[in-house]
Amino acid sequence: MPRTGRLTTAAALLAAISALATACTGPAAESAADDPKADVTLAFWHGWSAPGEVRAIEDGIARFEKAHPNIKVQVTGNMTDDKINQALRAGGAKAPDVVSSFTTDSVGTFCNSRALADLNPFLQKSGIDKTKVFPRTLLEYTQFKGNQCTLPLLNDAYGLVYNKTAFAAAGITEPPRTWSRFVEVAQKLTKADPSGDSYEQVGLMPTFHGYETTPMRLAAQWSPTYFDAEGRSNLSRDPAFAKMLTAQKDLVAALGGYEKLERFRSTFGDEWSAEHPFHTGKVAMQIDGEWRAPMAKEAGVAFEIGTAPLPVPDDQAADYGKGYLSGTVVGIASGSRKQNAAWELVRYLTTDTEAVVAFANAIHNVPSTLAALESPDLEVTPELRTFLDIARHPKSSTTPARADGGTYQLTFQDFAYAVEKGAVADIPAGLAKADRQIDTDIAKAE
């Protein structure tokens, strides 16, 4: 079961940024002088904790150690970004040499504070052209202001997972491609319970607390630009944001209204359990990642599952197939005295096609290199193929890295919460206020 990155509170992020900015860093990557062929032990910290995930990591490390007999790797799992930040600040013998994070929003912080080493010199020294190895969008969220302080380690693509049996019963023959059709389908699949006060099934849980239904993932379908050429927040000047918020608010109203939907949402099971509302039939369409279909099958659902890209605005119908991308990142601690050896591990995990494919197959994620996406060894189910196509789509997008980590996204998200509740009378004015707050927060972080 993959773990998607979660936005933490703005206060926590800003505190982490401030602390990391004062961290003592080790030698610059360009001056790393350790001998990668010498006997050495590396400390690798990652966030995976489920047995299958941990086993997949261990299998990959075993293959690496077999190919690099002089390098031993001590692996520590279930490490949060908070624990990683603390260790990077403290440094010393107990600090990790290589770290992996689920939270792409942390990349701007890691790079801006120089807590992680710039990997560009290592890539150049190894003769690796990153633009020919990794998809463009993945490179966007793994660097900040030219500092490639992380590299992609698998990829998450977001699309639509739907109940094909429920579709057939409602006479729906294909997933919706445009937003207007999406609304129609969601309404048709929504069934009230006998009391009329709740639901037996909703076509979609459209509120922004509905697991993976976040403002950022929906906004990607409108192809937004978060920042202008000068780096200023662009929420109020790009019509995409107001259009998305208005469309989502109208969808909430069409499915019964915010309060009624939220009462129904309170009956949902845990996102990562067999009691997920898609698994139990309470939700017919789910905005989610590539892992949801195999998880539903493992939960033993009694219906047929389909996957598709998320619908696009009606005036962007030609761009159908795009979506939001994120993923896991990996980097080398600036304080590590074993950076050349650490690079051997990072290079293997992120650029070795066999390693990337094996890891993707094991934990049902999208591969993070162009070669792995096309590998004949990739185990491609019909459900996964949808997400591979989303990952390849030239107009798929992500949220850009910034020095304030994910704080700018929290500001946007909090505003979106207010909009869907009906608490915002003037969306453009509210977006302009959010712009000012985002610019202030970024200025402080930098």
- For domain 10-156+326-387, the CATH class is alpha beta
Average pLDDT of each block of 10 consecutive residues along the chain (446 residues)? 43 46 47 86 93 93 97 94 86 91 87 93 97 94 94 95 98 98 98 92 95 95 96 97 98 97 95 94 96 94 97 98 95 96 98 97 94 96 95 94 90 97 96 98 91
Is the separation of the CB atoms in 325 and 391 below 8 Å? yes
Question: What is the distance between the alpha carbons of residues 289 and 307, in angstroms, rounded to a whole number?
Answer: 10
Question: What is the distance between the alpha carbons of residues 200 and 230, in angstroms, rounded to a whole number?
Answer: 49
Question: Hey, CA dihedral for 373, 379, 384, 385, is it positive or negative?
Answer: positive
Q: What is the pLDDT of residue 50?
A: 84
Is the separation of the CB atoms in 161 and 285 below 8 Å? yes
Question: What is the distance between the alpha carbons of residues 264 and 277, in angstroms, rounded to a whole number?
Answer: 10
The three-class DSSP label of residue 165 is helix
Q: Which fold has domain 157-319?
A: D-Maltodextrin-Binding Protein; domain 2 (3.40.190)
Phi and psi at 288, nearest 5°, equal -165, 180
Phi and psi at 22, nearest 5°, equal -100, 0
Where, residue-wise, is CATH 3.40.190.10 in the chain? 10-156+326-387, 157-319
Q: CB neighbours of 165 closer than 8 A, spacing ≥ 6? A: 302, 303, 304
Which string of b and e fits 260-278 if b means at least 16 CB within 10 Å?
bbbebbeebeebeeeebbb
What type of residue is 413? Q
Backbone conformation region of residue 186, classed left if phi is above 0, alpha if psi is from -120 to 50, else beta: alpha
